[in-house]
Amino acid sequence: MTAYLVRRLLYAIPILIGVNLITFTLFFVVNTPDDMAHLHLGVKHVTPEAIVNWKRERGYDQPLVYNAGGEGIAKLTETILFNKSISLFAFRFGASDTGRDIGYDIRQRMWPSLAIALPTFLVGILVNITFAMLLAFFRATYIDVWGVVLCVIMMSISTLFYIIAGQYLIGKLWHLVPISGYDTGVDAIKFLVLPVLIGVVHGIGSGTRWYRTIFLEEINKDYVRTARAKGLSELRVLFRHVLQNALIPILTGAVVVIPSLFMGSLIMEAFFGIPGLGSYTINAINQQDFAVVRAMVFLGAVLYILGLIMTDIAYTLADPRVRFE
């Protein structure tokens, strides 16, 4: 197990290098730092000195890959590739284009992000599994058929609709919770209820359908028939046998969701004014702050790989037959 984990972690390194190469190419080769300076300062009416200044303040005045003017190791270290891309591996994110410390911002903003993403994820799984169990229990009846139709309809509604309708109904008409904003400590809960609720409701359609398929696949297997033949009640069959054996595909499904969790909370945070990583990214995109986008791409990739590894660990816990060679 340990050897497997170490190997997986080592395998992550070439992937992260690849991710960095992609962002480096996109941000420094396709568009030179001069282009970026022009974007911020304007194309016309801008002096060459202003551009040089802009680049020097942000450390974009070094050569891209190889610094012929440096001495010894500095030939390689005093370059954009080293300072802006390779340094990410040490989680040194540097300063944003507006001069703020990205690492500090990320440490501050990860807690609100977690506070919204984790409950959405966990409550979502719980709700989806419950509904899927219900549909599986009533399989091949009208409840099941109409449940699936309802799921397809819910899947077809845009996230934005859920958000706007939720904010309007619950926040504006009924005044149950504030429409947007954030607070520290326990007070944060009243700001978190609505985004988490909307996140869960939005996921019900696809989630329930997905889990229902898994359960129905399991329900037709021999061991379930044996369990029924023993005289176990349908509920006991569903919870003791089907649910436990469906855990593996459920876990796979959960990992598929992890990247979209990031995307989901991105929009939620922006709409509800929660100062998390998602709104940080959106602000960076809108202000065209490439340093922050670069850091977030790297961080996102790291989180994704961690998620994959954690799933593998969860596999062994859920199914003792799974062994890693």
Partner 1 sequence: MPFTPVVLTTDALLFLLLAAAGGYAWYARRREHLRAPWRQVARSRLGMMAAVVLCAYLLVGIADSFHLRLRIAQPDAQAAVRYSPEVLSLLDLATGHLRDAVEKTYSAPFAATLYVRETVTTPDGTVARVYPRLRHAATHLDDPERQRLGDVLATAATGALQGIALWALAVALLLYGLARSGRARWRTVLRQVARDELAVPWRLMLITAGVLIAGAFMLANLSFTYHVFGTDKVGQDVFYQTVKSIRTGLLIGTLTTLVMLPFAVLLGLVAGYFGRWVDDLIQYLYTTLNSIPGVLLIAAGILSLQVYMANHPQRFESFAESADLRLLFLCLILGVTSWTGLCRLLRGETLKLRELEYVQAATAFGVRHLGILTRHLLPNVMHVVFITVALDFSGLVLAEAVLSYVGIGVDPSMNSWGNMINQARLEMAREPVVWWSLLAAFTFMFALVLAANLLADAIRDAFDPRLRSVP
Report yes or no: 50 and 33 within 8 Å, Cβ to Cβ: no
Minimum CB distance to partner 1, residue 17 (Å): 9
Q: Cα separation of 225 and 153, whole Å?
A: 33
Binders of partner 1 among 188-227, rule CB under 8 A?
none
- How near is the Cβ of 60 to partner 1 at its closest, in Å? 13
Among 2, 69, 99, 158, binds partner 1 (CB under 8 A): 158
Rg (CA), the chain: 25
When asked if residue 181 is in the footprint of partner 1 (CB under 8 A), the reply is no
Q: Are 306 and 255 a contacting pair, CB within 8 Å?
A: no
> Quick one: which of 4, 8, 38, 318 contacts partner 1 (CB under 8 A)?
38
| Residue 182 touching partner 1 (CB under 8 A) | no
- Residue 49 to residues 46, 55, 84, 280, 325: CA-CA distances in angstroms? 8, 10, 23, 31, 60
Instruction: Residue 196: count other Cβ atoms within 10 Å of its Cβ.
Output: 21
| 197 versus 282: smaller Cβ distance to partner 1 | 282
Residue 98 sits in the site that holds partner 1 (CB under 8 A): no
Among the listed ranges 28-36, 77-85, 128-136, 187-195, the one in contact with partner 1 (CB under 8 A) is 28-36
DSSP secondary structure, 192-213, as one string: HHHHHHHHHHHHHHHHHHHHHH
Q: How far apart are the first and last CA of the chain?
A: 8
Q: Exactly one of 111, 304, 315, 324 binds partner 1 (CB under 8 A); which one?
A: 304
3-state helix, strand, coil in the chain (%, to 5): 75, 0, 25
Letters for 53-92 (x = contact with partner 1 by CB under 8 A, - = none) are ----------------------------------------
Helical residues (DSSP H) of 26-141, grouped into ranges: 33-41, 48-58, 74-77, 80, 102-137
Is residue 275 at the binding interface for partner 1, with CB under 8 A as the rule?
A: no
Number of residues that bind partner 1 (CB under 8 A): 47
Q: Which of 194, 204, 237, 293 binds partner 1 (CB under 8 A)?
A: 293
Do the Cβ atoms of 159 and 200 come closer than 8 Å? no
User: Per CB under 8 A, does 114 bind partner 1?
Assistant: no
157 interacts with partner 1 by CB under 8 A = yes
Q: Kindly state whether residue 39 participates in binding partner 1, applying the rule CB under 8 A.
A: yes
Of 9, 164, 176, 235, the one binding partner 1 by CB under 8 A: 164
- Determine contact, residues 256/244, Cβ cutoff 8 Å: no
What is the identity of the amino acid at 9? L
Q: How large is the angle between the packed helices 102-137 and 277-286, nearest 10 degrees?
A: 120
Which span (117-125, 139-147, 237-245, 294-302) binds partner 1, by CB under 8 A?
A: 294-302
Question: Which of 245, 279 has the CB closer to partner 1?
Answer: 279
- Among 1-9, 65-73, 124-132, 265-273, the segment contacting partner 1 (CB under 8 A): 265-273
Q: Which of 41, 155, 232, 318 binds partner 1 (CB under 8 A)?
A: 155
296 sits near partner 1 (criterion: CB under 8 A): yes
Q: Return all residues near 273 (Cβ < 8 A) that are at least 6 apart.
A: 180, 181, 182, 279
Nearer to partner 1, 67 or 198 (CB): 198
